[in-house]
Structure 1
Amino acid sequence: MTTVLDIDAHGGQHCETTALGVLLRHQGLDLSEAMLFGLGSGLSFIYWDSKNMGFPFLGGRVKPFDLTRNLATGLKVELVVQETTSPRRAWENVVAPIDAGHPVGLQLDSYHLDYFGSKVHFGGHVVAMYGYDEHDAYLVDTDQQGGAVSTSLTSLAQARAARGPMTARHRSFTLTAPRNLPSPQGRIIPAVTACADAFLDPPIANLGHRGIEKAGKLVRTWLRRTDNPERDLPQAARLMEKAGTGGALFRNLYRDFLAECTHLLDSSHLRTGHALYTEAATLWTEAAALITKAGESGDAQCLVQAGTIICDLSRVEREAMQALRRLGSDTPSAIQPGQ
C-alpha cells in the first residue's frame, strides 16, 4: 500500500522548525522559519560538559521538543503527542494520521537515517513524515539534508527505537489548528518576554547569559581538554555554525525573527533587541572561526581571543534580553503596529 500526501515540502535550516512548518502549512498557517523559532521561545544557551562526554558542547536553543510545546501553546494549536515502547504501536501511531490526510512529526536518532550525510548520534532530531509505501518512508528534513527525502522503513524503525541522550520513545505528534486561528502577531510579546525571562534568570550557571560567560572562560582551556584538537575544536565550531542552527548558534534565526517583529510592532525595545542580536550573530560566527583556527593551528592565542569575544557576548545578549523583557511592561498604547 502507498500513501503519499500532497504537501508543501520545502525544508528549512533547523530540523524542528522545518517539521513544524510542514505541519502548520498543511493546517493553513504559513509562517517563516524565524517566526516559528521566535514564537516557540526557542533561543537559549547551554555550556554542556560531563565526564562521559568526549568534548564540551555549546548549545543555542531550548531542549528538543520544548520549542514545539511552546509554539503550540502560544498559537492555541492542538498538539497530540504519542509515545510507546512498542514498535508495532509506534507504526500505527504514524500510519493512522497519514492515512487520514495529516502529516506527522517524528523525533528520532538521525544516525540511522539512510540519507543523513554525517553519521553522528543525535536523538533530538525531528522530521515531518508525509507518506510511505512498502519499502520507504517519505520525510521532510532540513535543506542541508535534502528537504524532501526518503529512508527505508527499516532505518526509520531503528531511528525511532534508538535509546540514549535526548531520545524519546517512538515519539510522534500532530498539530491541529482551530478554525479561527489567533493572530500570530498577538503572540510576539508573550513569546519574547518568556524567552528573555528564562535567559536572564537561569536556574544554573551553565545556562543563559551566565552560561555564555562561563563558556568564555572555559573555551580558553579547550586545547588542554582534548587529545585531538584538530578534530574536536573544528567539530565544536561546526556544531555552532552548521548543524541545523541557521548559523551563529541560532542567533541568525532569532535576529531574523526580531527583524520580522519590528515590521509588525513599533517598539523601541524590539529595535534595540534586534540591533544587539545582529551584533551577537556576527560575534558568534567570529568566535567559531577562531575556535576552528585554534584546532587547526594549535595556537592557544586564538582561544584567548574567542574567549574574550564570548565573554563580551554575555554582556551583549544580556543587554538585548533586558530590552526585550521590557516589552512586557509597555502599555498597549506604547506599542503600535509597525509600518
Structure 2
Amino acid sequence: MIPNEIDPEQALAIPHRPGRHCGSSAIRDLLEFHGMMLTEAMCFGLGSGLGITYLALPDAPVPFLVHVRSLGYEERVFQALDIPFAWTSYASVDEGAQALDDLLDQGCPALLLTDIFHLPYFASRTHFPGHAIVAWERQPADGSVLVTDTERPAPIPVARAALARARFADLPPFVHAGNLFAPPSISARFSVERVATAIRHNARLLLEGGPCVGVAALDTWLDDLGRWEREGDWRWTTRFAYQVIERRGTGGGGFRKMYAEFLEEAALADPRIAELRLPQLMADSARCWTALAMALKAGSESECFPAELLADALQAVQASERCYVEAALAY
C-alpha cells in the first residue's frame, strides 16, 4: 500500500481506478461520478490528445523539452461531449485554496492542474506542471484534501497548503493559476460522429503548426541535436526526454499506445477506421516512439552523445507519424 493513502473501503463514493495518463484518467473519474461511463482510452481520443511540442529553454535545468500530448486537451474532451467547460483561475494561492474548499464542501469534486514538484507523495526534485488530478473532499480532522491520481490505487490525503501551492505554475508550456473545473452536474452527448471529428482534428493538430509544433517539431529537434550535446547536461536532457515519452503518464509510446486502443474501440462502431488501418498505423507509431525513448535512455547512460542513434530513431518516428496522419486525413 502506498504511504498516506486511505483504505479503499473508506472511499467507496469516489469512482477511481488506476489509469495511465493523468488527464484521461481524471476526466474518466469525474465523468463517472456524474453518471457517464467511458474508457480512459476513449476520453483520451475524444480530446485529440496526441501532440508534439518542442521547446528550447536556455535558462532552464533541462534546456530542451519535448511534450508528446496536445495542449488544451482537457477542454476538447468536454467540448466533444457538449459539456460546457471553462477553467476557473485565481489571482492568488490563498484565493484558489478557499475556492476549492467551498466547492468540496458543496459536494462538487474538482478537476485540477498541478505541478508534481509540490505534491508530497511524488517527492519529485523536478518541476512538472500541467499534471491533472481530482480533488474529492476535505478531511475533518486536519483539513487535508483527498485526491486521486492516475496509477495510484486509492485516494491520497494532501495537506491543504501543499495542494494550494501545487496548483500554480509558470513553466511553459503548462502554465496554470489555480485552474479548476468543478461542475455541479454533467449532461453529456456521445456519438460516433463526434469520435470521427476528434480523429480528424487530432490528425490536423499533428500536421499543422509552426516549426516547434506537430510533426514539423521533429525536424527542429533533428536540427538541434548538436545543441543537445553542447548545451546543458546532455545526459539529464536525454534521460528526461525518455521519461516524458515513455514513463511520465503516457501509457507507453508517447501516448500512441493508448491512442491505438482508442482507435480499436472506435473501429467497433465504424468499420472504415479498420479499413484505413488506423489502429495498426498508430501501433506502429507507438513502437517507433518507444524505440526513440529507449535510444534516449541508452544515450543518457553513454560515454558519448549518441547523435547518430537519436537521428535514426527520430527519422523513424517522423515516417510513422506522417504515414498515420495521411491515412487519418482520408477518413
Q: What 5-or-longer segments of structure 1 have no aligned partner?
A: 328-339
Task: Determine helix, strand or coil for the equivalent of 1:82.
Answer: coil
Question: Which of 112, 115, 128 pairs up with 1:109?
Answer: 115
State how 1:207-246 maps to structure 2 within 5 Å. 207-219=213-225, 222-226=228-232, 228-246=233-251
Q: Which position in structure 2 is the counterpart of 1:74?
A: 80
Amino acid at match of 1:170: G
- Per-residue CA deviation, residues 21-55 of structure 1 (Å, 9 max, x unaligned), is 11101111121111111100111111211322333
Task: Determine helix, strand or coil for the equivalent of 2:128.
Answer: coil
Alpha-carbon distance in 2 for matches of 1:257, 1:218: 33
RMSD: 2.3
Amino acid at match of 2:328: L
Alpha-carbon distance in 2 for matches of 1:260, 1:295: 36
Alpha-carbon distance in 1 for matches of 2:38, 2:66: 28
Q: Is the 8 A contact 1:200 1:322 kept in 2?
A: no
Amino acid at match of 1:297: S
Q: Is the 8 A contact 2:66 2:241 kept in 1?
A: yes
Alpha-carbon distance in 2 for matches of 1:270, 1:130: 42
Change in CA separation of 1:51 and 1:234 when aligned onto 2, cut-off 3 Å: closer
- How many residues end up aligned between the 2 structures? 317
Q: Which position in structure 2 is the counterpart of 1:140?
A: 148
Q: Which position in structure 2 is the counterpart of 1:177?
A: 186
Amino acid at match of 1:318: R
**How much has 1:146 moved relative to structure 2?**
5.5
Q: Is the 8 A contact 1:216 1:308 kept in 2?
A: no
**How much has 1:264 moved relative to structure 2?**
1.9
**How much has 1:161 moved relative to structure 2?**
4.1
- Per-residue CA deviation, residues 81-106 of structure 1 (Å, 9 max, x unaligned), is 32111444423432333233321111
Confirm or deny that 1:123 pairs with 2:132: no
Q: What 5-or-longer segments of structure 2 have no aligned partner?
A: 1-9
Change in CA separation of 1:71 and 1:33 when aligned onto 2, cut-off 3 Å: same
Q: Is the 8 A contact 1:270 1:324 kept in 2?
A: no
Task: Determine helix, strand or coil for the equivalent of 1:58.
Answer: strand
- Per-residue CA deviation, residues 187-235 of structure 1 (Å, 9 max, x unaligned), is 1111111111121122x11111111233234346533333x34433222
Question: Which of 43, 59, 62 pairs up with 1:52?
Answer: 59
Change in CA separation of 1:5 and 1:161 when aligned onto 2, cut-off 3 Å: farther
Alpha-carbon distance in 2 for matches of 1:234, 1:200: 27
- Per-residue CA deviation, residues 247-300 of structure 1 (Å, 9 max, x unaligned), is 111111211111211122101566422211111111111111112212212244
Q: TM-score, normalised by structure 2?
A: 0.87
Question: Which of 198, 211, 214 pairs up with 2:205?
Answer: 198
State how 1:1-339 maps to structure 2 within 5 Å. 6-53=13-60, 54-63=62-71, 66-133=72-139, 134-143=142-151, 147-165=154-172, 166-175=174-183, 176-178=185-187, 181-202=188-209, 204-219=210-225, 222-226=228-232, 228-268=233-273, 271-300=276-305, 302-327=306-331
Question: Larger helix proportion, structure 1 or 2?
Answer: 1
Change in CA separation of 1:81 and 1:235 when aligned onto 2, cut-off 3 Å: closer
Alpha-carbon distance in 1 for matches of 2:193, 2:256: 23
Change in CA separation of 1:77 and 1:270 when aligned onto 2, cut-off 3 Å: farther
- Per-residue CA deviation, residues 310-335 of structure 1 (Å, 9 max, x unaligned), is 113212211211211222xxxxxxxx
When structure 1 is superposed on structure 2, of 187-196 and 42-51 the one drifting more is 42-51
Q: Is the 8 A contact 1:47 1:215 kept in 2?
A: yes
**How much has 1:242 moved relative to structure 2?**
0.5
Of all paired residues, the percent bearing the same amino acid is 24
Q: TM-score, normalised by structure 1?
A: 0.86
